[in-house]
Structure 1
Amino acid sequence: MEPQNQTSVLEFFLLGLSEDTELQPLFFGLFLITYLITLLGNLLITLAIISDPHLHTLMYFFLSNLSLADMCFISTTVPKMLVNIQTQSKSITYEGCLTQVSFYYLFGCMDSLLLTVMAYDRLLAICHPLHYKIIMNPRLCGLLVLVSCLISILDSQLNMSSVAQLTFCTNVEVPSFFCDPLQLLHLACSATSNNTQVEYIIGAIIGGAPVSVILLSYIRIISSILKVSSSGGRYKAFSTCGSHLSVVCLFYGAGLGVSLSSVFSYSAKKDALASIMYTVVTPMLNPFIYSLRNKNIKRAYRRFLSRIAYSQNVCHSF
Protein backbone atom coordinates (compact mmCIF):
# COMPACT_ATOMS: atom_id res chain seq x y z
CA MET A 1 0.00 0.00 0.00
CA GLU A 2 1.23 3.44 -0.86
CA PRO A 3 1.46 5.89 2.03
CA GLN A 4 -0.95 8.77 1.62
CA ASN A 5 -1.61 11.98 3.48
CA GLN A 6 -3.75 11.42 6.54
CA THR A 7 -6.48 13.72 5.19
CA SER A 8 -7.18 11.16 2.44
CA VAL A 9 -8.09 8.50 5.00
CA LEU A 10 -11.85 8.74 5.34
CA GLU A 11 -12.32 5.95 7.87
CA PHE A 12 -10.70 3.33 10.07
CA PHE A 13 -11.91 -0.20 10.74
CA LEU A 14 -12.22 -1.33 14.35
CA LEU A 15 -11.68 -5.09 14.31
CA GLY A 16 -12.91 -5.55 17.88
CA LEU A 17 -11.83 -8.35 20.19
CA SER A 18 -12.57 -11.19 17.78
CA GLU A 19 -13.60 -11.58 14.16
CA ASP A 20 -15.62 -14.72 14.97
CA THR A 21 -19.22 -13.83 14.06
CA GLU A 22 -20.61 -16.35 16.55
CA LEU A 23 -18.99 -14.48 19.44
CA GLN A 24 -20.39 -11.06 18.46
CA PRO A 25 -23.79 -11.52 20.23
CA LEU A 26 -21.92 -12.61 23.37
CA PHE A 27 -19.66 -9.53 23.26
CA PHE A 28 -22.66 -7.31 22.61
CA GLY A 29 -24.51 -8.69 25.64
CA LEU A 30 -21.51 -8.54 27.97
CA PHE A 31 -20.50 -5.01 27.04
CA LEU A 32 -24.09 -3.74 27.08
CA ILE A 33 -24.65 -5.13 30.59
CA THR A 34 -21.28 -3.75 31.74
CA TYR A 35 -22.07 -0.34 30.28
CA LEU A 36 -25.53 -0.16 31.87
CA ILE A 37 -24.18 -1.31 35.25
CA THR A 38 -21.46 1.36 35.07
CA LEU A 39 -23.92 4.12 34.22
CA LEU A 40 -26.43 3.00 36.86
CA GLY A 41 -23.82 2.56 39.59
CA ASN A 42 -22.11 5.90 39.04
CA LEU A 43 -25.43 7.70 38.54
CA LEU A 44 -26.75 6.30 41.82
CA ILE A 45 -23.66 7.52 43.66
CA THR A 46 -24.02 10.99 42.12
CA LEU A 47 -27.76 11.26 42.87
CA ALA A 48 -27.33 9.88 46.40
CA ILE A 49 -24.63 12.47 47.15
CA ILE A 50 -26.69 15.32 45.68
CA SER A 51 -29.92 14.35 47.47
CA ASP A 52 -28.46 13.51 50.90
CA PRO A 53 -27.43 16.53 53.05
CA HIS A 54 -25.23 14.22 55.17
CA LEU A 55 -22.98 13.72 52.12
CA HIS A 56 -22.58 17.39 51.27
CA THR A 57 -18.92 17.27 52.28
CA LEU A 58 -15.78 17.86 50.28
CA MET A 59 -14.81 14.18 50.06
CA TYR A 60 -18.15 13.27 48.47
CA PHE A 61 -18.01 16.34 46.23
CA PHE A 62 -14.85 14.91 44.67
CA LEU A 63 -16.43 11.44 44.53
CA SER A 64 -19.44 12.72 42.59
CA ASN A 65 -17.11 14.36 40.06
CA LEU A 66 -15.14 11.11 39.77
CA SER A 67 -18.38 9.22 39.06
CA LEU A 68 -19.30 11.69 36.31
CA ALA A 69 -15.84 11.33 34.78
CA ASP A 70 -16.15 7.52 34.88
CA MET A 71 -19.49 7.65 33.07
CA CYS A 72 -18.00 9.86 30.37
CA PHE A 73 -14.83 7.73 30.13
CA ILE A 74 -16.66 4.47 29.39
CA SER A 75 -19.07 6.31 27.07
CA THR A 76 -16.09 7.28 24.92
CA THR A 77 -15.51 3.72 23.71
CA VAL A 78 -18.29 1.23 24.48
CA PRO A 79 -21.31 2.81 22.68
CA LYS A 80 -19.45 2.89 19.35
CA MET A 81 -18.48 -0.75 19.83
CA LEU A 82 -22.11 -1.71 20.54
CA VAL A 83 -23.33 0.17 17.46
CA ASN A 84 -20.71 -1.51 15.27
CA ILE A 85 -21.67 -4.98 16.51
CA GLN A 86 -25.38 -4.29 16.11
CA THR A 87 -25.02 -2.89 12.57
CA GLN A 88 -22.30 -5.43 11.67
CA SER A 89 -20.08 -2.54 10.67
CA LYS A 90 -16.49 -1.98 11.76
CA SER A 91 -15.96 1.49 10.38
CA ILE A 92 -15.33 4.76 12.19
CA THR A 93 -14.60 8.02 10.39
CA TYR A 94 -11.22 9.69 10.62
CA GLU A 95 -12.80 12.62 12.48
CA GLY A 96 -14.67 10.20 14.75
CA CYS A 97 -11.43 8.39 15.54
CA LEU A 98 -9.67 11.64 16.49
CA THR A 99 -12.66 12.64 18.60
CA GLN A 100 -12.51 9.30 20.41
CA VAL A 101 -8.77 9.78 21.05
CA SER A 102 -9.44 13.27 22.39
CA PHE A 103 -12.14 12.18 24.85
CA TYR A 104 -10.15 9.08 25.82
CA TYR A 105 -7.30 11.27 27.07
CA LEU A 106 -9.63 13.94 28.46
CA PHE A 107 -11.60 11.70 30.81
CA GLY A 108 -8.71 9.33 31.53
CA CYS A 109 -6.62 12.29 32.68
CA MET A 110 -9.60 13.68 34.59
CA ASP A 111 -9.94 10.41 36.50
CA SER A 112 -6.23 10.48 37.37
CA LEU A 113 -6.26 14.08 38.60
CA LEU A 114 -9.43 13.65 40.64
CA LEU A 115 -7.93 10.62 42.37
CA THR A 116 -4.88 12.79 43.14
CA VAL A 117 -7.04 15.57 44.58
CA MET A 118 -8.89 13.01 46.69
CA ALA A 119 -5.57 11.67 48.01
CA TYR A 120 -4.58 15.22 49.03
CA ASP A 121 -7.98 15.67 50.67
CA ARG A 122 -7.49 12.48 52.74
CA LEU A 123 -3.95 13.59 53.65
CA LEU A 124 -5.23 16.83 55.15
CA ALA A 125 -8.20 15.14 56.86
CA ILE A 126 -6.02 12.53 58.61
CA CYS A 127 -2.72 14.34 59.14
CA HIS A 128 -4.03 17.89 59.75
CA PRO A 129 -7.60 17.48 61.05
CA LEU A 130 -7.63 20.79 62.95
CA HIS A 131 -6.75 22.78 59.84
CA TYR A 132 -8.70 20.65 57.37
CA LYS A 133 -11.81 22.83 57.05
CA ILE A 134 -9.72 25.98 56.86
CA ILE A 135 -7.47 24.67 54.07
CA MET A 136 -10.02 22.60 52.13
CA ASN A 137 -12.69 25.24 51.83
CA PRO A 138 -15.35 25.05 49.06
CA ARG A 139 -13.57 27.71 47.00
CA LEU A 140 -10.30 25.74 46.92
CA CYS A 141 -12.15 22.50 46.10
CA GLY A 142 -13.93 24.13 43.18
CA LEU A 143 -10.61 25.55 42.01
CA LEU A 144 -8.93 22.12 42.21
CA VAL A 145 -11.68 20.55 40.07
CA LEU A 146 -11.47 23.43 37.58
CA VAL A 147 -7.68 23.12 37.30
CA SER A 148 -8.08 19.35 36.83
CA CYS A 149 -10.49 20.02 33.95
CA LEU A 150 -8.13 22.53 32.31
CA ILE A 151 -5.11 20.21 32.59
CA SER A 152 -7.19 17.34 31.17
CA ILE A 153 -8.25 19.47 28.20
CA LEU A 154 -4.64 20.47 27.57
CA ASP A 155 -3.49 16.83 27.79
CA SER A 156 -6.30 15.80 25.43
CA GLN A 157 -5.44 18.42 22.82
CA LEU A 158 -1.70 17.74 22.91
CA ASN A 159 -2.18 13.99 22.43
CA MET A 160 -4.83 14.43 19.75
CA SER A 161 -2.55 16.83 17.86
CA SER A 162 0.23 14.26 18.03
CA VAL A 163 -2.04 11.56 16.56
CA ALA A 164 -3.43 13.96 13.94
CA GLN A 165 0.09 14.49 12.57
CA LEU A 166 0.47 10.80 11.73
CA THR A 167 0.27 9.62 8.14
CA PHE A 168 -1.80 6.50 7.53
CA CYS A 169 -2.23 4.17 4.61
CA THR A 170 -5.64 3.37 3.14
CA ASN A 171 -7.87 0.75 4.77
CA VAL A 172 -6.41 1.18 8.27
CA GLU A 173 -7.49 -1.74 10.46
CA VAL A 174 -7.26 -1.13 14.21
CA PRO A 175 -7.10 -4.45 16.12
CA SER A 176 -9.16 -3.11 19.02
CA PHE A 177 -12.70 -2.04 19.89
CA PHE A 178 -11.78 1.67 19.90
CA CYS A 179 -9.18 4.00 18.42
CA ASP A 180 -6.41 3.10 20.83
CA PRO A 181 -3.71 5.82 20.48
CA LEU A 182 -0.87 3.35 21.11
CA GLN A 183 -2.10 1.06 18.36
CA LEU A 184 -2.51 3.99 15.97
CA LEU A 185 1.20 4.70 16.42
CA HIS A 186 2.00 1.14 15.34
CA LEU A 187 -0.29 1.43 12.29
CA ALA A 188 1.08 4.73 10.96
CA CYS A 189 2.99 4.67 7.68
CA SER A 190 5.11 7.68 8.58
CA ALA A 191 7.97 7.79 11.07
CA THR A 192 6.55 7.80 14.59
CA SER A 193 9.64 8.28 16.73
CA ASN A 194 8.87 11.94 17.45
CA ASN A 195 5.21 11.21 18.13
CA THR A 196 6.13 8.34 20.43
CA GLN A 197 8.52 10.58 22.34
CA VAL A 198 5.83 13.23 22.69
CA GLU A 199 3.34 10.61 23.94
CA TYR A 200 5.74 9.29 26.58
CA ILE A 201 6.89 12.75 27.69
CA ILE A 202 3.30 13.92 28.14
CA GLY A 203 2.43 10.62 29.84
CA ALA A 204 5.41 10.90 32.17
CA ILE A 205 4.44 14.43 33.20
CA ILE A 206 0.65 14.08 33.34
CA GLY A 207 0.79 10.54 34.73
CA GLY A 208 3.96 10.71 36.81
CA ALA A 209 3.07 13.81 38.79
CA PRO A 210 -0.29 12.47 40.09
CA VAL A 211 1.26 9.10 40.98
CA SER A 212 4.03 10.86 42.90
CA VAL A 213 1.55 13.01 44.83
CA ILE A 214 -0.60 9.99 45.67
CA LEU A 215 2.41 7.95 46.84
CA LEU A 216 3.75 10.76 49.02
CA SER A 217 0.28 11.41 50.42
CA TYR A 218 -0.21 7.79 51.43
CA ILE A 219 3.27 7.54 52.91
CA ARG A 220 2.33 10.46 55.16
CA ILE A 221 -1.12 8.98 55.85
CA ILE A 222 0.20 5.53 56.78
CA SER A 223 2.90 7.10 58.95
CA SER A 224 0.28 9.12 60.83
CA ILE A 225 -2.07 6.16 61.23
CA LEU A 226 0.71 4.01 62.71
CA LYS A 227 1.27 6.68 65.37
CA VAL A 228 -2.32 6.32 66.62
CA SER A 229 -2.23 4.40 69.91
CA SER A 230 -5.56 2.56 69.80
CA SER A 231 -6.38 -0.10 67.21
CA GLY A 232 -9.90 1.32 66.93
CA GLY A 233 -8.51 4.73 66.06
CA ARG A 234 -6.20 3.25 63.45
CA TYR A 235 -9.06 1.31 61.87
CA LYS A 236 -11.31 4.38 61.81
CA ALA A 237 -8.57 6.50 60.22
CA PHE A 238 -7.73 3.90 57.60
CA SER A 239 -11.40 3.22 56.79
CA THR A 240 -11.79 6.82 55.60
CA CYS A 241 -9.27 6.25 52.79
CA GLY A 242 -9.59 2.49 52.20
CA SER A 243 -12.04 2.83 49.31
CA HIS A 244 -9.95 5.51 47.63
CA LEU A 245 -6.79 3.44 47.96
CA SER A 246 -8.55 0.44 46.38
CA VAL A 247 -9.71 2.54 43.42
CA VAL A 248 -6.22 4.03 43.00
CA CYS A 249 -4.62 0.57 42.89
CA LEU A 250 -7.20 -0.65 40.37
CA PHE A 251 -6.95 2.41 38.13
CA TYR A 252 -3.18 2.77 38.02
CA GLY A 253 -2.59 -0.98 38.10
CA ALA A 254 -4.70 -1.42 34.97
CA GLY A 255 -3.11 1.61 33.28
CA LEU A 256 0.39 0.37 34.11
CA GLY A 257 -0.48 -3.05 32.72
CA VAL A 258 -1.60 -1.52 29.42
CA SER A 259 1.58 0.58 29.15
CA LEU A 260 3.97 -2.26 29.99
CA SER A 261 2.24 -4.69 27.63
CA SER A 262 2.72 -2.26 24.73
CA VAL A 263 6.33 -1.40 25.57
CA PHE A 264 7.94 -4.75 26.39
CA SER A 265 5.91 -7.32 24.46
CA TYR A 266 3.60 -5.63 22.02
CA SER A 267 0.71 -7.78 20.85
CA ALA A 268 -2.35 -6.16 19.32
CA LYS A 269 -4.81 -8.64 20.80
CA LYS A 270 -3.18 -8.67 24.25
CA ASP A 271 -3.12 -4.87 24.21
CA ALA A 272 -6.82 -4.76 23.31
CA LEU A 273 -7.70 -7.17 26.12
CA ALA A 274 -5.59 -5.19 28.60
CA SER A 275 -7.39 -2.01 27.53
CA ILE A 276 -10.70 -3.53 28.62
CA MET A 277 -9.53 -3.47 32.23
CA TYR A 278 -8.56 0.18 31.98
CA THR A 279 -11.46 1.58 29.96
CA VAL A 280 -14.37 -0.69 30.90
CA VAL A 281 -13.83 -2.74 34.06
CA THR A 282 -12.35 0.01 36.25
CA PRO A 283 -15.23 2.52 35.76
CA MET A 284 -17.70 -0.32 36.46
CA LEU A 285 -16.02 -1.46 39.71
CA ASN A 286 -15.52 2.00 41.25
CA PRO A 287 -19.15 2.39 42.43
CA PHE A 288 -19.10 -1.10 43.97
CA ILE A 289 -15.86 -0.38 45.83
CA TYR A 290 -17.19 2.85 47.32
CA SER A 291 -20.61 1.32 48.05
CA LEU A 292 -19.37 -1.83 49.76
CA ARG A 293 -16.74 -0.11 51.89
CA ASN A 294 -18.61 3.07 52.80
CA LYS A 295 -21.43 3.01 55.34
CA ASN A 296 -22.44 6.59 54.56
CA ILE A 297 -22.99 5.73 50.89
CA LYS A 298 -25.06 2.68 51.88
CA ARG A 299 -27.27 4.79 54.16
CA ALA A 300 -27.62 7.41 51.41
CA TYR A 301 -28.70 4.69 48.97
CA ARG A 302 -31.38 3.47 51.37
CA ARG A 303 -32.70 6.99 51.99
CA PHE A 304 -32.65 7.80 48.26
CA LEU A 305 -34.45 4.58 47.27
CA SER A 306 -36.99 4.94 50.09
CA ARG A 307 -37.81 8.47 48.88
CA ILE A 308 -38.34 7.13 45.36
CA ALA A 309 -40.57 4.32 46.67
CA TYR A 310 -42.53 6.80 48.80
CA SER A 311 -43.07 9.18 45.88
CA GLN A 312 -44.30 6.30 43.73
CA ASN A 313 -46.76 5.21 46.45
CA VAL A 314 -48.07 8.77 46.70
CA CYS A 315 -48.55 8.93 42.93
CA HIS A 316 -50.39 5.59 42.92
CA SER A 317 -52.67 6.70 45.77
CA PHE A 318 -53.94 9.53 43.55
Structure 2
Amino acid sequence: MVIHSQTASDKQALSSLRITAIGGGHGLGRVMSTLSFLDRRLVGIVTTTDNGGSTGMLRKHHQCIAWGDIRNCMSQLANQPLAKEVLNYRFNSDSNLDGHNLGNLLLYSLDALSARPIDGIQLLSRLLKVNNRILPMSEMPTDLLAELDNNLQCFGEIRIDELGTMPQRLSLSPQVNSTPEALQHLKRSDLIILGPGSFLTSVMPPLLVTDIAQAIKKSPAKVIFVDNLVPELSPAGNLTLLQKFAWLEQQIGYQPIDLAISNVSPLHTNIPIVSCVASDQELIHRHDTDGLLTALAQSAQHLLPHMFTETVTDLHSFK
Protein backbone atom coordinates (compact mmCIF):
# COMPACT_ATOMS: atom_id res chain seq x y z
CA MET A 1 0.00 0.00 0.00
CA VAL A 2 1.30 3.47 -0.88
CA ILE A 3 2.04 5.70 2.09
CA HIS A 4 0.18 9.02 1.91
CA SER A 5 1.92 11.94 3.59
CA GLN A 6 0.27 13.88 6.44
CA THR A 7 3.15 16.16 7.32
CA ALA A 8 1.65 18.10 10.24
CA SER A 9 0.19 15.05 12.01
CA ASP A 10 3.35 13.03 11.33
CA LYS A 11 5.48 15.70 12.98
CA GLN A 12 3.10 15.81 15.92
CA ALA A 13 3.31 12.03 16.29
CA LEU A 14 7.10 12.12 16.49
CA SER A 15 7.51 15.37 18.42
CA SER A 16 7.91 13.81 21.87
CA LEU A 17 10.46 11.16 20.84
CA ARG A 18 14.21 11.16 21.34
CA ILE A 19 15.80 9.84 18.15
CA THR A 20 19.37 8.91 17.27
CA ALA A 21 20.15 8.48 13.57
CA ILE A 22 23.30 6.66 12.46
CA GLY A 23 25.04 6.56 9.09
CA GLY A 24 26.94 8.45 6.40
CA GLY A 25 26.59 11.88 4.87
CA HIS A 26 23.97 11.77 2.11
CA GLY A 27 21.59 9.26 3.68
CA LEU A 28 21.97 10.46 7.26
CA GLY A 29 21.61 14.06 6.10
CA ARG A 30 18.30 13.21 4.41
CA VAL A 31 16.97 11.51 7.56
CA MET A 32 18.10 14.35 9.81
CA SER A 33 16.71 17.08 7.55
CA THR A 34 13.40 15.20 7.51
CA LEU A 35 13.36 15.14 11.33
CA SER A 36 15.10 18.47 11.96
CA PHE A 37 11.97 19.89 13.65
CA LEU A 38 12.91 17.75 16.67
CA ASP A 39 15.78 20.14 17.43
CA ARG A 40 17.94 18.76 20.29
CA ARG A 41 15.81 15.63 20.56
CA LEU A 42 17.47 14.50 17.31
CA VAL A 43 21.12 13.38 17.32
CA GLY A 44 23.17 12.13 14.39
CA ILE A 45 26.13 9.78 14.85
CA VAL A 46 28.22 10.14 11.71
CA THR A 47 30.57 7.69 10.01
CA THR A 48 34.17 8.96 9.97
CA THR A 49 36.07 6.36 7.89
CA ASP A 50 36.05 8.05 4.46
CA ASN A 51 39.54 8.09 2.91
CA GLY A 52 38.84 9.62 -0.49
CA GLY A 53 38.72 13.09 -2.04
CA SER A 54 39.28 16.19 0.06
CA THR A 55 38.70 14.23 3.26
CA GLY A 56 41.31 11.68 2.25
CA MET A 57 43.88 14.39 1.53
CA LEU A 58 43.34 15.97 4.95
CA ARG A 59 43.55 12.60 6.68
CA LYS A 60 46.75 11.66 4.84
CA HIS A 61 48.61 14.81 5.82
CA HIS A 62 47.10 15.65 9.21
CA GLN A 63 45.93 12.33 10.76
CA CYS A 64 42.48 13.72 11.52
CA ILE A 65 39.04 12.12 11.44
CA ALA A 66 37.09 12.14 8.17
CA TRP A 67 35.13 15.37 7.90
CA GLY A 68 33.21 14.82 4.65
CA ASP A 69 30.12 13.04 5.98
CA ILE A 70 29.83 15.48 8.89
CA ARG A 71 30.02 18.40 6.48
CA ASN A 72 27.41 16.76 4.23
CA CYS A 73 24.98 16.40 7.13
CA MET A 74 25.53 19.99 8.22
CA SER A 75 24.92 21.29 4.70
CA GLN A 76 21.51 19.60 4.64
CA LEU A 77 20.59 20.97 8.07
CA ALA A 78 21.93 24.52 7.83
CA ASN A 79 19.35 27.30 8.16
CA GLN A 80 21.57 30.05 6.78
CA PRO A 81 21.18 31.32 3.18
CA LEU A 82 23.84 29.94 0.84
CA ALA A 83 25.23 27.76 3.65
CA LYS A 84 24.91 24.58 1.60
CA GLU A 85 26.80 26.14 -1.30
CA VAL A 86 29.55 27.45 0.98
CA LEU A 87 30.04 24.16 2.81
CA ASN A 88 30.07 22.14 -0.41
CA TYR A 89 32.25 24.56 -2.43
CA ARG A 90 35.19 22.74 -3.98
CA PHE A 91 38.35 24.53 -5.09
CA ASN A 92 39.47 23.93 -8.67
CA SER A 93 42.86 23.66 -10.37
CA ASP A 94 43.31 27.45 -10.38
CA SER A 95 43.92 27.28 -6.63
CA ASN A 96 46.63 25.78 -4.48
CA LEU A 97 43.74 24.12 -2.66
CA ASP A 98 42.77 22.14 -5.79
CA GLY A 99 40.34 19.35 -4.89
CA HIS A 100 39.71 20.51 -1.35
CA ASN A 101 36.25 21.20 -0.02
CA LEU A 102 35.66 24.45 1.89
CA GLY A 103 33.42 22.82 4.49
CA ASN A 104 36.02 20.16 5.22
CA LEU A 105 38.70 22.83 5.64
CA LEU A 106 36.45 24.80 7.99
CA LEU A 107 35.83 21.76 10.18
CA TYR A 108 39.51 20.81 10.17
CA SER A 109 40.51 24.39 11.12
CA LEU A 110 37.95 24.58 13.93
CA ASP A 111 39.17 21.23 15.21
CA ALA A 112 42.75 22.59 15.30
CA LEU A 113 41.52 25.51 17.42
CA SER A 114 39.41 23.36 19.75
CA ALA A 115 40.11 20.89 22.52
CA ARG A 116 38.06 18.19 20.80
CA PRO A 117 36.59 17.61 17.32
CA ILE A 118 33.11 17.80 18.87
CA ASP A 119 33.83 21.36 20.03
CA GLY A 120 34.57 22.47 16.47
CA ILE A 121 31.44 20.76 15.16
CA GLN A 122 29.30 22.48 17.79
CA LEU A 123 30.80 25.87 17.00
CA LEU A 124 30.05 25.54 13.27
CA SER A 125 26.57 24.24 14.09
CA ARG A 126 25.86 27.39 16.09
CA LEU A 127 27.17 29.61 13.30
CA LEU A 128 24.94 27.85 10.77
CA LYS A 129 21.95 27.70 13.14
CA VAL A 130 21.84 23.91 13.08
CA ASN A 131 19.66 23.00 16.06
CA ASN A 132 20.26 19.25 16.00
CA ARG A 133 23.28 17.53 17.56
CA ILE A 134 25.88 16.07 15.20
CA LEU A 135 28.49 13.71 16.66
CA PRO A 136 31.31 11.77 15.01
CA MET A 137 31.24 8.02 15.63
CA SER A 138 34.67 8.53 17.24
CA GLU A 139 37.05 11.42 17.77
CA MET A 140 40.01 9.22 16.84
CA PRO A 141 41.01 8.48 13.21
CA THR A 142 40.29 4.97 11.98
CA ASP A 143 39.86 3.09 8.70
CA LEU A 144 37.80 0.19 7.44
CA LEU A 145 39.51 -3.17 7.02
CA ALA A 146 37.86 -6.01 5.10
CA GLU A 147 38.90 -9.64 5.32
CA LEU A 148 38.19 -11.59 2.12
CA ASP A 149 37.45 -15.28 1.68
CA ASN A 150 40.92 -15.95 0.19
CA ASN A 151 42.71 -14.71 3.35
CA LEU A 152 43.49 -11.38 1.70
CA GLN A 153 42.73 -8.00 3.25
CA CYS A 154 41.33 -4.85 1.70
CA PHE A 155 42.14 -1.57 3.46
CA GLY A 156 40.18 1.65 3.22
CA GLU A 157 36.64 2.69 2.41
CA ILE A 158 37.27 3.52 -1.25
CA ARG A 159 38.73 0.10 -2.10
CA ILE A 160 36.10 -1.77 -0.07
CA ASP A 161 33.26 -0.15 -2.00
CA GLU A 162 34.93 -1.39 -5.20
CA LEU A 163 35.08 -5.06 -4.12
CA GLY A 164 33.35 -7.59 -6.37
CA THR A 165 31.99 -9.73 -3.54
CA MET A 166 31.05 -9.25 0.09
CA PRO A 167 33.93 -9.55 2.57
CA GLN A 168 33.88 -12.26 5.21
CA ARG A 169 34.50 -9.72 7.94
CA LEU A 170 34.61 -5.95 8.35
CA SER A 171 36.47 -4.21 11.17
CA LEU A 172 38.08 -0.93 12.16
CA SER A 173 41.84 -0.37 12.06
CA PRO A 174 42.65 0.68 14.69
CA GLN A 175 39.69 -0.09 16.92
CA VAL A 176 38.47 3.14 18.52
CA ASN A 177 36.06 4.21 21.24
CA SER A 178 32.96 6.28 20.77
CA THR A 179 32.34 9.59 22.49
CA PRO A 180 30.59 9.64 25.88
CA GLU A 181 28.01 11.97 24.34
CA ALA A 182 27.04 9.43 21.66
CA LEU A 183 26.67 6.65 24.22
CA GLN A 184 24.57 8.89 26.45
CA HIS A 185 22.19 9.75 23.61
CA LEU A 186 21.85 6.09 22.58
CA LYS A 187 21.01 5.18 26.17
CA ARG A 188 18.25 7.81 26.29
CA SER A 189 16.79 7.26 22.81
CA ASP A 190 13.30 6.03 22.01
CA LEU A 191 14.19 5.26 18.39
CA ILE A 192 17.47 4.51 16.62
CA ILE A 193 17.57 4.81 12.82
CA LEU A 194 20.18 3.09 10.65
CA GLY A 195 20.66 4.20 7.03
CA PRO A 196 19.96 4.74 4.25
CA GLY A 197 23.31 4.79 2.48
CA SER A 198 26.14 2.51 1.50
CA PHE A 199 25.70 -0.58 3.66
CA LEU A 200 29.39 -1.38 4.11
CA THR A 201 30.86 2.12 4.26
CA SER A 202 28.09 4.30 5.74
CA VAL A 203 25.80 2.13 7.86
CA MET A 204 28.26 -0.45 9.19
CA PRO A 205 31.26 1.62 10.45
CA PRO A 206 29.59 3.08 13.59
CA LEU A 207 28.26 -0.39 14.45
CA LEU A 208 31.85 -1.67 14.38
CA VAL A 209 32.71 0.64 17.28
CA THR A 210 32.32 -1.85 20.10
CA ASP A 211 30.81 0.49 22.68
CA ILE A 212 28.27 1.83 20.15
CA ALA A 213 27.17 -1.71 19.26
CA GLN A 214 26.86 -2.59 22.94
CA ALA A 215 24.99 0.64 23.73
CA ILE A 216 22.43 -0.14 21.02
CA LYS A 217 22.04 -3.68 22.36
CA LYS A 218 21.43 -2.43 25.91
CA SER A 219 19.25 0.52 24.93
CA PRO A 220 15.47 0.20 25.32
CA ALA A 221 15.16 2.02 21.97
CA LYS A 222 13.63 0.33 18.95
CA VAL A 223 15.81 0.19 15.83
CA ILE A 224 14.58 1.06 12.32
CA PHE A 225 16.60 0.19 9.22
CA VAL A 226 15.97 2.49 6.23
CA ASP A 227 16.78 0.59 3.05
CA ASN A 228 18.08 2.21 -0.14
CA LEU A 229 15.59 2.97 -2.89
CA VAL A 230 17.92 1.72 -5.63
CA PRO A 231 20.71 -0.90 -5.44
CA GLU A 232 24.01 0.66 -4.46
CA LEU A 233 27.16 0.34 -6.56
CA SER A 234 29.02 -1.91 -4.12
CA PRO A 235 28.99 -5.63 -3.28
CA ALA A 236 26.12 -4.97 -0.86
CA GLY A 237 24.01 -3.89 -3.83
CA ASN A 238 23.63 -7.58 -4.72
CA LEU A 239 22.26 -8.56 -1.30
CA THR A 240 18.61 -9.01 -0.47
CA LEU A 241 17.24 -7.21 2.57
CA LEU A 242 17.34 -10.41 4.61
CA GLN A 243 20.91 -11.10 3.52
CA LYS A 244 21.89 -7.64 4.77
CA PHE A 245 20.29 -8.37 8.12
CA ALA A 246 22.03 -11.73 8.39
CA TRP A 247 25.42 -10.25 7.45
CA LEU A 248 25.00 -7.43 9.97
CA GLU A 249 24.14 -9.93 12.71
CA GLN A 250 27.20 -12.01 11.84
CA GLN A 251 29.46 -8.97 12.20
CA ILE A 252 28.22 -7.55 15.52
CA GLY A 253 26.96 -10.71 17.21
CA TYR A 254 23.26 -9.88 17.54
CA GLN A 255 20.32 -8.69 15.43
CA PRO A 256 19.44 -5.06 16.27
CA ILE A 257 16.73 -4.44 13.65
CA ASP A 258 13.12 -4.23 14.88
CA LEU A 259 11.54 -2.83 11.69
CA ALA A 260 12.63 -1.91 8.16
CA ILE A 261 11.48 0.79 5.76
CA SER A 262 11.96 -0.78 2.35
CA ASN A 263 10.17 -0.97 -0.97
CA VAL A 264 11.28 -4.60 -1.23
CA SER A 265 9.14 -6.80 0.99
CA PRO A 266 10.89 -10.14 1.59
CA LEU A 267 9.07 -13.34 2.43
CA HIS A 268 9.65 -15.32 5.60
CA THR A 269 10.72 -12.56 7.94
CA ASN A 270 9.57 -11.69 11.44
CA ILE A 271 10.74 -8.11 10.97
CA PRO A 272 7.88 -5.76 10.01
CA ILE A 273 8.34 -3.87 6.74
CA VAL A 274 6.97 -0.43 5.86
CA SER A 275 6.86 -0.21 2.07
CA CYS A 276 6.05 2.08 -0.86
CA VAL A 277 8.09 5.14 0.10
CA ALA A 278 8.43 7.46 -2.90
CA SER A 279 11.72 8.83 -4.20
CA ASP A 280 12.60 12.49 -4.59
CA GLN A 281 11.40 13.79 -7.95
CA GLU A 282 14.84 15.17 -8.83
CA LEU A 283 17.06 12.48 -7.26
CA ILE A 284 15.47 9.06 -7.55
CA HIS A 285 18.01 7.45 -5.21
CA ARG A 286 16.94 9.73 -2.33
CA HIS A 287 13.76 9.42 -0.31
CA ASP A 288 10.98 11.96 -0.66
CA THR A 289 11.10 13.75 2.68
CA ASP A 290 7.33 13.84 3.27
CA GLY A 291 7.00 10.15 2.45
CA LEU A 292 9.95 9.28 4.66
CA LEU A 293 8.45 11.32 7.50
CA THR A 294 5.17 9.43 7.22
CA ALA A 295 6.96 6.07 7.12
CA LEU A 296 8.95 6.97 10.25
CA ALA A 297 5.81 8.16 12.06
CA GLN A 298 3.95 4.95 11.23
CA SER A 299 6.97 2.88 12.22
CA ALA A 300 7.24 4.67 15.57
CA GLN A 301 3.58 4.11 16.36
CA HIS A 302 3.89 0.44 15.47
CA LEU A 303 7.01 -0.08 17.60
CA LEU A 304 6.13 2.23 20.50
CA PRO A 305 2.33 2.08 20.89
CA HIS A 306 2.58 2.89 24.61
CA MET A 307 3.92 6.35 23.74
CA PHE A 308 0.89 7.32 21.67
CA THR A 309 -2.58 8.04 23.02
CA GLU A 310 -4.04 7.50 19.57
CA THR A 311 -2.60 5.34 16.81
CA VAL A 312 -3.16 6.20 13.18
CA THR A 313 -0.88 3.48 11.88
CA ASP A 314 -2.25 1.78 8.79
CA LEU A 315 -1.40 -1.81 9.54
CA HIS A 316 -1.84 -2.71 5.88
CA SER A 317 1.43 -0.88 5.28
CA PHE A 318 3.23 -3.64 7.17
CA LYS A 319 4.08 -6.89 5.45
* Superposed pair shares fold, TM > 0.5: no
Output the TM-score relative to the length of structure 1.
0.23
- Which protein is bigger by CA-based radius of gyration? 1
Higher-helix-fraction structure: 1
Output the TM-score relative to the length of structure 2.
0.23
Higher-strand-fraction structure: 2
